[in-house]
């Protein structure tokens, strides 16, 4: 895939996105009422302001989950070709898992996995 293909892909993405937004603005009927501005919580009316802070530990835990979940995405192709590549693939996956394990130990040491 050359540079021209990447530029064309980027332009197509921008045009399709902008086109969808533009069609929505033109064709959809605009109606403003007070209920559209209200936050939705499973049909239950809210009692307090929806703007409150969450503990940063929830975000760190979610990011760590995503990192280790994406690890599996990279391990599947490796498992498919491990017999063809041989010892080199085994060494590379051990290096990959070692780096991820070091990141896990760092997160554990910093307390990113504790809920309290």
pLDDT per residue over 93-106, tens digit each?
A: 899 889 989 988 99
Q: Which of 90, 68, 91 is closest to 79 using CA atoms? A: 90
Q: Give the model's pLDDT for residue 62.
A: 84
Which pLDDT value is given to residue 1?
65
Say how far apart CA 73 and CA 92 lie, in whole Å.
15
Whole-angstrom Cα distance, residue 113 to residue 116?
A: 9
- pLDDT beneath 50: ranges in the chain: none
Q: What is the CATH number of domain 4-109?
A: 1.20.58.1610
């Amino acid at each position: 895939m050359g540079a021209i293909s990447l530029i064309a892909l980027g332009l197509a993405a921008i045009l399709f996105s902008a086109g969808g937004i533009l069609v929505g603005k033109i064709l959809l009927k605009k109606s403003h009422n007070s209920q559209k501005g209200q936050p939705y919580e499973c049909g239950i009316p809210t009692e307090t302001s929806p703007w409150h802070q969450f503990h940063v530990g929830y975000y760190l835990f979610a990011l760590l989950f995503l990192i280790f979940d994406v690890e599996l995405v990279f391990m599947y192709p490796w498992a498919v070709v491990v017999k063809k590549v041989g010892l080199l693939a085994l060494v590379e996956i051990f290096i990959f898992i070692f780096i991820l394990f070091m990141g896990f130990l760092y997160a554990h040491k910093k307390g990113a996995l504790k809920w309290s």
